[in-house]
Each structure stands twice: as structure tokens, then as C-alpha cells.
Amino acid sequence: MLSAAIAISPDFVVAPVRRRVFGSFVEHMGRCVYTGIHEPGHPAADEDGFRRDVLALTRELGVTLVRYPGGNFVSGYRWEDGVGPDRPVRRDLAWHSVETNEVGIDEFARWARKAGAEVMYAVNLGTRGVAEALDVHEYLNHAGGTHLSDLRRANGTPDPHGVRLWCLGNELDGPWQTGHKTAHEYGRLAAETARALRQAEPGLELIACGSSHSGMPTFGEWEATVLELAYEQVDHISCHAYYEPIDGDVDSFLASAVDMDHVIDSVVATADAVGARLRSDKRIGLSFDEWNVWYQSRFQAAPPTGWLVAPRLIEDTYDVTDAVVVGNLLISLLRHSDRVVAACQAQLVNVIAPIRTEPGGPAWRQTTFHPFALTSRLAGGQVLRTEITSPVHTTARYGEVPVVDAVATHDPATGETVVFVVNRHRSEPVELTMATAGAVAESWTLHDADPSATNTAADPNRVVPRHLPAELSDGVLHVVLPPVSWNALRLA
């Protein structure tokens, strides 16, 4: 059996656990909104047409923040189509779909309140600009006494929505994006939109678009140019990353967090280099507002063609290996809590999501639901520097990588420590040891003898977290991490 060790001390603090890291994403795409969160006529629908079963699962998932309304969708979206009594039906060029606008920002904000989550709102900087960003801000956040704030009141929302986190567009470096721009064009637009939004409300937190993914030819250069133009106007820059096994290379896939670490470190280095050049004391935060496992190769093989309302798009079914990767990506995000201020798993329901639904039918938890829900519930207090002694193995994509990856949190208020740890090896268990003064209060493993096991509507609890046997002797914790497993231990 392989062996590994973890060393932590409550004195070595990285940063507070940021609750906004447990964010999600609701895009008007596929069945995320329609027949996902919203389905009037469903037996579980509430008075607003929201599915109560999905709301309950969203709360159980521990989602703190939800990005809305896109995604690629937002780059052609007219927010005013989704408010008031008249809802024009429009083409959605991003997903080759028909948007009924039955749900708009007022409905979504009501849903988010019920879910107990903060709204992160993305403005359209693809086909639109400063004026429309100001308009939607006036509608959402201005108290009253102006045309658009009074319109919101007339539409049934007397109090402002108070949205604090704003994304300045979406993935505008991507040639697939409606209104795609060069870094210079986008940087100027982001700076001017940010300046105007701050004139309206100085306390907003504004996020500039970073690269769509680290494989973009302009990765790094895009961030540098955009920040050179908008450094003093924005607070954060976005990162996006999706992972899947390429050509069946599961070992590299299991090491996806190595890439996420690299993306974060690279964007931090780029932002700090710009800050140094500008002689600024300000530090830019990272909003990792799209991340997940996504089998993009399947989507590329069969992109949408018809003009349909809420078609089934990228409804990936996740297995145990996918869940271990998702848990490991959360470890990476937590590890970087000094710079990652928010993160959104993309997306929440049906579309590459931890929650699946059938129209008129059940809602269920995918395998990936479990590491997210447990991490959100258990991570508390401060993130600790986590020293790991681990065996390594070689992957085709990332070279030599540690078999074990982990992060720990410690809450000085309760004295509790929580360790999140993965075993990326496909066949070998790992004996893990860690010195601790605590007693094991909870210990979970997400693992299955069949790493390709999935949850389905017919068998929704095929994969669930199970008890992980843990022993304490002479102040040393001993656990055996099964192969391909994500694990969490709470020490009281």
C-alpha cells in the first residue's frame, strides 16, 4: 500500500474560507432555467412556478452565490425582455435556441432569495455597452424615483435587488462569443463600463473577463492588456476552466487540479505584474466563475441545430471519477483563498450540473453533488497551509504529480479542523497519517468499486458518501484512502 502524510498547524493561515467560493451558475441555456429551476405545473412547483424539490437540493448543496443570466447567452441578451408583463420571444444565438423570457431578473432574484444565495449579475458587453449596463443597474439597484427603478417597483419589486457582484461581460476573448473583441477593445469597454457603474454606486464589486480557458492563444496576454486598461476600475478578473478525460487519459484527468492551480498562479502573477508596472498597491482578486467537469467533446460532436425552447443541452451524467475531480478542484480553490474571492460551478441544474431533473418528474443528486455539498457544509473558519508528503506518479499531460492532494480548514471559534483529501491513484489505496489533537467527529469517503458508477432517475442513490474508517492512536490519525476517492474528515 502507498503511504502519505499531511502536516498542518492552526498557526499557518492562508486566508479566511470565503463563502462565495461555493457559488453556482444559472444560465438561460438548455434546461437549466426552464424545467430546471422553473416549471409551473410541476407537482412540486411553488406559487412562483419554482420547483420546490430543486430549491431544497440547492440549499442542501450549500450554494452561496449564483451567477446569472449567462454565459454565452448574456452576450446577446436584452435584460428588459425579461421584466414586466410583455415578454418577447427571441432567438438565442449562443445556444441556437428560442428564449421565451418567461423568467427574467425579478423572477431569478426571487428564486435566489428562496435558495438563500447571493446574485452575481453579468451584463451584456457583447452586443451592448455602457448605457445598457447602467440601465440594468438602475433597474436592479436604484431605490426609486427614476424611470427604471419605478418600473421595477411597478413590476412588483418595491425594494432594490442590491446586487453587489457584477461581471463585465462574458468570455469576450472567444471567437464564438457574440460581439467578440480584442483585448484592447474589451479592456477599454470594461474600464468605461466600470467607471460608469461606480458613478452610479461606488461600492459595487466589478469583475473583468479573463481568458475563456488557459488553452486560448492569448491566455496571459489578454489578462495583462485588459488589466493595464482597467486596473483601477475593476476589483477582480475572471477565470474559466472545464476538464474532461482527453483520449481516455484518466490519470491526467484525475490530476485536473494541477492545471487549476497553474491557471490561478498564472493569473495572479500576471495581475501582480501589471499592478507593479502601474505602481499600484491594489491587488486584483480572482473570480473563478465557471469551472467544472464538462465532456465538451460530446457537445462539439453534436452542437444544437434546431430553434427549440429549452432543448436538452450538455446534460452530462457524472460518475465517481468525475466527482473525485470536482472535489479536488474545490481543494484547489480553497487552497488559493488568499486570491480566489468567488467561484461558480457551472452550472446548477441539468446543464453540466450536480442536480438533474425530468420535466414533470423527479430531481436527483449527481455524483458531483456530494463533494460540493460536504465541502460547503464542513469548510469553516480559515484555510490552513497544508504540507503534503505524497508518492508521485507520471501523467501524460502534467508530468509527475502527487497521488494525494489535500487542504485543511480550521475554525478558531469551534476549535474544529476539517481535512479534504483525494487519492488520485486508480488502483492503489493510500495509508494517510496526520498528527492531530482532535477526535474524529465525521469521516466521509466518495468512492466505489466501480469508478464509472453514476446516479440516475431510476437509481438516484447508487453513489453516496459513505463512512470512512479512521483510527486515532497516540495523537496520530490513520486512514486508508481508497483508490479514486475524495474524502473529508472533521476533527473536533
Residues forming the active site: 171, 290
CB of 338 to ligand AHR, least distance (A): 26
C-alpha span between 7 and 97 (Å, rounded) = 51
Q: Is residue 436 involved in binding ligand AHR (CB under 6 A)?
A: no
Helix ranges (H only) for 278-342 are: 296-301, 320-335
User: In terms of CB distance, is 347 or 443 closer to ligand AHR?
Assistant: 347
Taken in order 251, 256, 258, 263, is the CA torsion positive or negative? Answer: positive
Burial 431-440 (b: 16+ CB within 10 A, else e): ebebebebeb
Residue choice 66, 167, 346, 468 for contact with ligand AHR (CB under 6 A): 346
Q: What is the amino acid identity at position 382?
A: Q
CB of 278 to ligand AHR, least distance (A): 28
Q: What is the amino acid identity at position 164?
A: R
User: In terms of CB distance, is 178 or 270 closer to ligand AHR?
Assistant: 178
Measure CA 44 to chain center. Answer: 26
Grid coordinates given for 67: 451567477
Helix ranges (H only) for 201-255 are: 221-230, 250-254
SS (H, E, C) 12-73: CEEEECCHHHCEEECCCCCCCCECCCECCCCCCECCCCEEHHHHHHHHHHCCCEEEECCCHH
Q: Which residue's CB comes closest to ligand AHR?
A: 71
Residue choice 58, 149, 170, 409 for contact with ligand AHR (CB under 6 A): 170
- Site size toward ligand AHR (CB under 6 A) is 10
Please, are residues 180 and 218 in contact by the beta-carbon 8 Å criterion? no
Which of the residues 258 through 297 are near ligand AHR (CB under 6 A)? 290
CB of 242 to ligand AHR, least distance (A): 7
The DSSP secondary-structure symbol of 385 reads P
User: In terms of CB distance, is 75 or 436 closer to ligand AHR?
Assistant: 75
Listed in sequence order, the residues at least 6 apart from 83 whose beta carbon sits closer than 8 Å to its beta carbon are 104, 105, 106, 139, 151, 152, 155
CB of 27 to ligand AHR, least distance (A): 5
User: In terms of CB distance, is 347 or 375 closer to ligand AHR?
Assistant: 347
* Helical (H) or strand (E) element with 258: helix 256-277
User: In terms of CB distance, is 71 or 245 closer to ligand AHR?
Assistant: 71
Which of the residues 188 through 217 are near ligand AHR (CB under 6 A)? 212
The DSSP secondary-structure symbol of 413 reads T
Q: Is residue 124 involved in binding ligand AHR (CB under 6 A)?
A: no
Residue choice 23, 27, 118, 371 for contact with ligand AHR (CB under 6 A): 27
CB of 183 to ligand AHR, least distance (A): 17
Listed in sequence order, the residues at least 6 apart from 220 whose beta carbon sits closer than 8 Å to its beta carbon are 211, 266, 270
For 320, counting Cβ atoms within 10 Å of its Cβ (0-12 exposed, 13-18 middle, 19+ buried), the class is: buried
Grid coordinates given for 340: 480566489
CB of 98 to ligand AHR, least distance (A): 17
Listed in sequence order, the residues at least 6 apart from 117 whose beta carbon sits closer than 8 Å to its beta carbon are 23, 24, 58, 63, 64, 65, 66
CA angle, 425 then 427 then 429, to 5°: 70
User: In terms of CB distance, is 355 or 470 closer to ligand AHR?
Assistant: 355
User: In terms of CB distance, is 171 or 259 closer to ligand AHR?
Assistant: 171
Q: Is residue 347 involved in binding ligand AHR (CB under 6 A)?
A: yes
Which of the residues 64 through 123 are near ligand AHR (CB under 6 A)? 70-72
CB of 114 to ligand AHR, least distance (A): 23
CB of 482 to ligand AHR, least distance (A): 31
User: In terms of CB distance, is 322 or 405 closer to ligand AHR?
Assistant: 322
Positions that interact with ligand AHR (CB under 6 A) = 27, 70-72, 170-171, 212, 290, 346-347
